[in-house]
A and B are shown apart, each in its own frame.
Chain A
Amino acid sequence: MEMFDDPARWLPFTFAALMGVSILVYVVLDGFDLGVGVLFPFATDDEKDTMVASIGPFWDANETWLVLAIGLLLVAFPTAHGEILTALYLPVAIMLIGLILRGVAFEFRVKAPTPHKASWNAAFLVGSLMTSLSQGFMLGKYIMGLESTLGTWAFAMITAVFLTVAYSFIGACWLILKTEGALQAKAVQWARGGIFGLALGLGAVSLATPLVSARIFDKWFAWPEMLWLAPLPILSALTVLLLWRSLSGLPNPQDKGARTPFLYSIVLFVLAFGGLAYSFYPYVVPEKITIYEAASAPESLMIILVGAVVVIPMIGGYTALAYTVFKGKAAELRYD
């Protein structure tokens, strides 16, 4: 392919792909632990401890994917980075404050004097909610081309709610996998409730995106692209059905199929993300700046790529190690 002859073309593409992968990994991984936070009000105090224990060893590394994603945007597409983040100034600030509250609550809730625990639990919930809602809001604004009108605002409010539902759904699926007994039974109920919101949200975003942008409309509803894009919505619908089926068999005494909902929900996230990525390519700021216009100098991208090729497999390796060390049902978190 001629694209690979010219570093000024394949480097930005590679970096856009890397960034996409980090965002996707972030949304799945921090998605489930944010979701666990959003589900806090429905759990008893003991259950809250188990819920936190199920994500305790992972949340920090999960958030690092956000740092990587934003870092890649910053380093590979500096002009777009400025444009996007200044346009999203307030929601970004809300998200950051949410992440702060949540991140410190992990530690404070067990280290502060016992009477304060309830307040830190509340901080954990509020932080998780602020983060999920503002991320959903930013997604909506981004889909709407970062325009600020009443309509885009309303749309962004809707995506805010849907993304939060999606996170709590994958959070519930994670809990089905990591817990047992009464909490697991509850988590199955939460997941069953969440699946409708999830399907609705997917539908709404899929419909709205081509409607607001003629360019995206043309990308999807042209022949023959339609043919090989058709599997995307069909597979998504199928996955939702499979999810529903796998949930109806749970919980069961042998704990059979406890992983299935979580795996299916990852598939669903991947499909949804794939659709969005297809819609926006080659733009990094929708309808304004393409990845090729925004990219840093090739020599700078090259030096990062060299590091990335060496380091990212290592990151994968030790992440796998951590998930192996802490596999199985969540146990009480202890330092000894």
Chain B
Amino acid sequence: MDTLMLSRIQFGANISFHILFPTITIALGWVLLFFKLRFNATGDGKWMEAYQFWVKVFALSFAMGVVSGITMSFQFGTNWPGFMEAVGNIAGPLLAYEIMTAFFLEAVFLGIMLFGFSRVPGWLHTLSTFLVAFGTSMSAFWIIVLNSWMHTPQGYEMIDGVAHATSWFEIIFNPSMPYRFIHMMLASGLTVAFLVAGLSAFRWLLGDRSGGVQATLKTGVYLGALLIPVQIFMGDLHGLNTLEYQPQKVAAMEGNWDTQSNVPLLLFAIPDEEARENRMEIGIPNGASLILKHKADGVVPGLNDFVTEDGEVLHPPVAPVFWSFRIMVGTGFAMLLLSWFAAFKMMRKGRGPAALPRVALFAMVPMAFSGWVATLAGWYTTEIGRQPWLVQGVLTTEQAVADVPAPFVGITLAAYLSIYVLLLGAYIAVLFYLARKGVSGDVPRPRTPLSGQAVASNVPAE
């Protein structure tokens, strides 16, 4: 493989690994603040219990986010020097603001949030929790601004192949930014909702009936049930925005080759770029036209419009975009089903988690990571859908790649991948280990009888 391909895989692997942890920390910070505020207001120990369990998950995820983020900031220079050379005047200030307004804030107050509980007054601890949550959201904001600008650039002029800013307002509030930012924040909220629900369901299944588990299980389910319809609605708006600015991406998402009316919504198909057609199509008649144009005979752009006279292909690879989009949407509907079912059960019987049937609890455990799946699938849709461009219409990925020998990229890629696999395994194992340990009660709390199984898995505390 050549340097370009290897660099793309390396960047994709690094950012995919990175985003797993920010998606957790962004929303978990706010959830922790919620737990802390509930505790401040009610004095009920179950909220402190919830806080103390989840703050550990937060600390671990944060460390993973930081170290993989540092890798990201070096990757621009090591793998994509052309990126900063061409659009550094735009990307630079945005990244600088992220570092200055967000990274330091998070990093400094994290110390106080984690280890300062008995060293600082209560209000300062609560304030630190708030500042950490605020910091992670700020950093999401700036990086999403940059990423959105790469999809829908405006507010700049090109002088000698280098972009110069003409309006920072237009750059920051570029057309896809609001959609992308809200969609990402909701994605983070959903990831955390299902992670919290999933791990709490796991503890419940092990026999833990403590107040803390009840509280977090409820929080997770209700948060998920609340956010998912909003996310689906936002996703639809996001798609309409993309249709306006990157029609070739929407054509790939829909697997639509020819610009035409009455386009079906494909549930299954195998896009074939050689033959430029789909095989084994199963679709809902007029579906895509209805979603994208809100009428059955709406005209939807097709991929064939993005091939030049002499056969140069200017649209993204179809199959990966088509399929990752379906994985995201599919996961979204699975989330809707599960969270609404569980929320409905809990509300109707008024008995809280005790009303949940075992199958719902069992389904929640693997769904703990559904947020990761949907988020990654969403990013693949977005990013692969922008190819061959790195900055839409301004810079192609090929122009930005570094002149580094392919074996260097290959070796480091192999090293990163093996570390990532190892760490991901360790991370998930430790989450479940902490959950099992939580069952045996490593935090002081009003004792409730535990089931035999849970006692058997008693492990000595740290």
Contacts and interface: CB of A to CB of B under 8 A. Distances in A.
Contacts of A76: 92
B88 A296 contact: yes
A74 B423 contact: no
A307 B89 CA distance: 15
B260 interface: no
**Which of B85, B117, B426, B460 has the most CB atoms of chain A within a 10 A radius of its CB?**
B426
B101 A326 contact: no
A110 B442 CA distance: 13
Interface in B28-60: 52, 55-56, 59-60
A303 B93 contact: yes
B95 A75 contact: yes
A84 B408 CA distance: 16
B9 interface: no
Interface string A62-74: 0110111011111
B308 interface: no
Contacts of B71: 96, 99-100
Contact of A93 (B110, B402, B412): B412
Contact of A71 (B99, B165, B415, B419): B99
B101 A107 contact: no
Nearest to B88: A78
A61 B60 contact: no
B74 A308 contact: no
A58 B111 contact: yes
A14 interface: no
Contacts of A312: 100
Contacts of B108: 61, 315, 318-319, 321-322
A78 B165 contact: no
A299 interface: yes
B107 interface: yes
Contacts of A58: 111
B52 A64 contact: no
A108 to B, nearest CB: 6
B317 interface: no
Contact of B59 (A83, A89, A107): A107
A61 B135 CA distance: 13
B462 interface: yes
A86 B403 contact: yes
A111 B430 contact: yes
A325 B423 CA distance: 32
Interface string A286-320: 00000000001101100110011001100100110
B407 to A, nearest CB: 10
A103 interface: yes
Interface stretch (A171-179, A190-198, A223-231, A328-336): A328-336
A335 B55 contact: yes
Nearest to B426: A108
A86 B96 contact: no
B81 A83 contact: yes
Contacts of B76: 74, 81
A106 interface: yes
A112 to B, nearest CB: 5
B104 interface: yes
A60 B423 contact: no
A101 interface: yes
Most buried by B among A72, A82, A99, A102: A82
B423 to A, nearest CB: 6
A103 B107 CA distance: 13
Interface string B139-156: 000000000000000000
B172 to A, nearest CB: 11
Interface stretch (B62-70, B180-188, B367-375): B62-70
B77 interface: yes
Interface string B408-426: 1001100110010001001
A296 to B, nearest CB: 5
Contacts of A63: 66, 70, 107
Contacts of A107: 59-60, 63
A57 B112 contact: yes
B158 interface: no
B104 A61 contact: yes
B111 A335 contact: no
A110 B59 CA distance: 11
A300 B111 contact: no
A322 B112 contact: yes
Given A100-B68, A101-B419, A335 B56 contact: yes
B125 to A, nearest CB: 10
B77 A81 contact: yes
A58 B112 CA distance: 10
Interface in B319-343: none
B157 to A, nearest CB: 11
A325 B55 contact: no
B111 A60 contact: yes
B430 A333 contact: no
Contacts of B404: 86, 89
A311 B93 CA distance: 14
B299 interface: no
A57 B63 CA distance: 12
B115 to A, nearest CB: 5
Nearest to B443: A336
A200 interface: no
Contacts of B84: 74, 78, 81-82
Given A61-B110, A89-B404, 12 more contacts: A64-B104, A71-B95, A71-B96, A72-B96, A78-B92, A82-B77, A97-B415, A103-B67, A112-B433, A297-B164, A300-B92, A333-B115
17 contacts: A61-B107, A63-B70, A74-B73, A78-B88, A86-B402, A89-B404, A89-B412, A106-B63, A107-B59, A300-B88, A303-B93, A307-B97, A319-B104, A322-B108, A325-B119, A326-B119, A336-B117
